[in-house]
């Protein structure tokens, strides 16, 4: 069975690739940049001809669509072109080539819920507060129109992290400071709450969804447990035996800050018939990342 991962060289793609290979799948991928690996195709998904070419060569049995602009402060035009047009190109190309994978997993985001103060089920109001969240909502609405043509699951992952995540994201940034014994750090609002799940758990769930009979569903990928940034700092201060000084930088505080982003995973547990989907404790995730002592801007 052949799996195609768009954005395979990204943070999640690297973990998912190893997990699929360990389960004896043949794995191919796309990357925006050149790659020496013959199983990874250079492909700009905003160019339909390029994704058509890749699909025609691979003819995948399963697809994970991870390729996206995920950093909120990225250029809005780039966000919409990649997240919306890129997804449209993928879906249209499958239909045009008459390729019908057993499963197409389209990765959206919990950012579609916006500043919604409740434990968020899939039926909650969708009120994105930034271009990234809005691009994912547009992508979802467009993708639903292909449910009658392709076997699709739309996932809404909540925050997750792990070794290899780019340092511009919160947990790797904090880990960088602790790993290098820095005494202070500049952060925004440390009293916002987020889920901080482990990438290993998230990719395990993706594999389970791929091998399931589930189609035409929108599903939260969430543990339902959130922590504040202050909680993270407290855990690390205690674990490492010294207190990091936090300097609040107003430039890092978003205008429409989501105060508590926490999901309801009852649908996920019911669909996969399991109550034991998130196994890695936050403390263990943080300890693993801290052990990665050599950080740089490409981490």
Q: 250-270, pLDDT tens digit by residue? A: 888 877 677 888 999 999 999
- 190 DSSP 8-state letter: T
Residues recorded for the chain: 299
Task: Report whether 27 contacts 3 (CB < 8 A).
Answer: yes
Cβ atoms of 180 and 290 closer than 8 Å: no
**Catalytic residue numbers, as ranges:** 132
SS3 148: coil
Domains of the chain, earliest start first: 2-159+197-225+263-280 (3.40.50.720)
Q: Checking phi first, is residue 224 left (phi over 0); if not, alpha (psi -120 to 50) or beta? A: left
The rounded distance, in Å, linking the Cα atoms of 39 and 55 is 13
Residue 298: is its pLDDT beyond 50? no
DSSP string, 60-124: -SEEEE------TTS-HHHHHIIIIIHHHHHHHHHHHTT---SEEEEE--GGGGBS--S-B-TTS
Between CA 41 and CA 28 the distance in angstroms is: 8
Is the confidence at residue 100, as pLDDT, over 90?
yes
Q: How far apart are CA 291 and CA 163, in angstroms?
A: 9
What's the confidence (pLDDT) of residue 254? 74
What does the pLDDT read at residue 296? 43
Beta-carbon count within 10 A of 50 CB: 17
In this prediction, residue 71 carries a pLDDT of: 72
Confidence (pTM): 0.92
């Amino acid at each position: 069975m052949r799996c195609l991962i768009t954005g395979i060289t990204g943070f999640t793609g690297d973990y998912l690739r190893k997990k699929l290979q360990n389960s004896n799948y043949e794995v191919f991928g796309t990357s925006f940049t050149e790659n020496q690996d013959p199983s990874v195709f250079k492909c700009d998904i905003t160019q339909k001809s390029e994704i058509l070419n890749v699909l025609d060569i691979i003819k995948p049995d399963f697809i994970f669509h991870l390729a996206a602009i995920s950093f909120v402060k990225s250029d809005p035009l780039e966000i919409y072109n990649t997240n919306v047009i890129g997804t449209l190109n993928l879906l249209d190309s499958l239909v045009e080539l008459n390729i019908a994978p057993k499963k197409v997993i389209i990765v959206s985001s919990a950012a579609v819920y916006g500043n919604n103060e409740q434990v968020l089920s899939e039926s909650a109001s969708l009120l994105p507060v930034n271009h990234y969240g809005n691009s994912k909502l547009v992508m979802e609405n467009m993708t639903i129109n292909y449910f009658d043509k392709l076997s699709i699951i739309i996932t809404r992952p909540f925050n997750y992290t792990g070794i290899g995540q780019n340092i511009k994201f919160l947990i790797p940034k904090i880990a960088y400071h602790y790993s290098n014994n820095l005494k202070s750090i500049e952060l925004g609002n440390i009293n916002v709450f987020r889920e901080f799940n482990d990438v290993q758990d998230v990719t395990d769930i993706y594999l389970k969804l791929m091998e399931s009979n589930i189609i035409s569903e929108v599903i939260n990928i969430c543990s339902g447990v959130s922590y504040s940034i202050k909680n993270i700092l407290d855990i690390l201060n205690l674990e490492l035996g010294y207190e990091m000084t936090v300097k609040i930088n107003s430039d890092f505080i978003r205008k429409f800050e989501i105060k508590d982003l926490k999901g309801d995973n009852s649908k996920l547990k019911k669909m996969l018939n399991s109550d034991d989907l998130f196994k890695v404790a936050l403390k263990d995730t943080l300890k693993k990342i801290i052990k990665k002592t050599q950080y740089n801007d490409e981490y």
